Homo-oligomer: A and B are copies of this chain.
């Protein structure tokens, strides 16, 4: 504790980053759930739609790895999405054993509608911050997200 609380040179105590970031992540996930429920989508199903919209995948295993999901758990999710016409599974012309996974037009529509609703809520939250902090927060988050786990742990 500094004897002079106004002393600028005194170290400013702050909570650890993890102690702020982890609960915030939990709250943000909780805030997504009503939107996902309204579209009858599990969180993993939404992750699948986002991933396949970015790029078709060559196998369920590759998709599972890309989104960090358990391969076995993903099977039911993919069956459901295919049955609802949101994704398609086709033989890969370049590898007959593989099945190319991609979004249908309807899958793209649902993915976009869900993300818009989620980000609309997020923007209401971000609007509570001063403009400069909001921009700094988003830029920092995107920069830190782009770092590898090794760099983050450094």
B32 touches A121 (CB 8 A): no
CA distance A32 to B19 in the complex (A): 11
A61 within 8 A of B: no
- B contact residues around A19 at 8 Å (CB): 50
Beta-carbon contacts under 8 Å, A88-144 to B: 115, 118-119, 121-122, 124-125, 128-130, 132-144
Interface residues of A (CB under 8 A from B): 14-25, 27-32, 50, 115, 118-119, 121-122, 124-125, 128-130, 132-145, 147, 149, 151-154
- B contact residues around A15 at 8 Å (CB): 142, 145
CA distance A11 to B2 in the complex (A): 46
Known contacts being A16-B115, A18-B28, A25-B25, is A133 close to B139, with CB within 8 Å?
A: yes
Can you add 4 more A-B contacts, CB < 8 Å, to A14-B138, A24-B144?
Answer: A14-B142, A121-B154, A125-B154, A136-B137
- B contact residues around A139 at 8 Å (CB): 129-130, 133, 136-137
Residue on B nearest A30 in the bound complex, by CB: B153
CA distance A145 to B118 in the complex (A): 19
B136 touches A134 (CB 8 A): yes
CA distance A71 to B115 in the complex (A): 38
- B contact residues around A32 at 8 Å (CB): 16, 18
CA distance A68 to B142 in the complex (A): 29
